[in-house]
Structure 1
Amino acid sequence: MKIYTRTGDQGGTALFGGGRVPKDDPRVEAYGDVDELNASLGLARSIELMPRIDEVLVPVQRDLFAIGALLATPDHDKMREQLTKARIDAERIAELEHAIDDCDRELEPLRSFIIPGGTPKAAALHVARTVCRRAERRVVSLAHDVALPELVVQYLNRLSDLLFMLARVANRRAGAGEVTW
């Protein structure tokens, strides 16, 4: 199978499970931002390997693939299948919260805003956090017109918090400290 199909040359794209929409359709914007988030996490993982941080990110990347497929699927039955495959449920969100709590125990209490940066790993995690927030906004916008499981927005909201905490931990573990505002 060739990577190019030429089917999108006129500005349209196929949805998972059937149908075509313009490439600037809100659904495509939402899953495109989730895809960008996934790529951002891949970049963050490739910088300054930190096993305990990276071990948290790999399952998140798998979740994001499934969320992207979910967002690209207009068929509600197929959406439910993808949500099950992604295991985006209250238990998975609790796992993200547990990871946030683990980070919190390792860090000094937050007393002011943190200027994004520090080590390349932390900076990449901060970029991923901002991409996550954009993806969350796109999904919220899409949810105004399309029935989506609320857990998707909750997951992205919690994930952005986790990415902020992981960036702080990456800086701490590297001895980089934080620049406050």
Structure 2
Amino acid sequence: MEHMETRLAKLARKGDQRAFAEIVELYKDKIYYLAYRMLNNRHEAEDIVQETFLRVYKNLERYDEHQKFSTWIYRIGTNLCIDRLRKRKAVYSLDAEVNDQEGSDGYAMIPGDERTPESEFLLSETQTTIRDAIDSLPAKYKSVMILRYLQDLSLQEISDVLDMPVTTIKTRVHRGRDFLRKKLENKF
């Protein structure tokens, strides 16, 4: 996979539009999911996807082929999300985006053996509580927790994406988990 992405990046760098379209196809959903989890807003996530690919296209010549392509594109998307979070007003309502949430995130439809309206309601309520807890994390922990647990990146990959030492990532994962644990202890 990674070898193919590097080859596509080389072709796109030379002006091959089909190669760039393949890169977009490979990563558009992953970047959207990352942005949606970080920003909790469908429209902003769509903007981030477009901006990410615009930056990738403009900066293809800067891509280091010795680096994983996925790390490079995740770094661009994550940094755009962090910038967007910093620009938001410091005080905002956690449920301001309730109408924008359509239950279409990755774990909204977890299959079960015996689904009942009551179990569906409890599952939905639990997901909302967890999502609210993640959304309330400070940005420096939120990005690390999303990349670690929702994007399933290793500590080294997160270190590469965020351009921070692995020890800093470990500390932020630990503190992020503590923050979530304290938030969720009161809820369950």
State the TM-score, normalizing by the size of structure 2: 0.30
Higher relative contact order, chain-length normalized (CA < 8 Å, sep 6+): 1
TM-score by length of 1: 0.31
Greater helix fraction, Structure 1 or Structure 2: 2
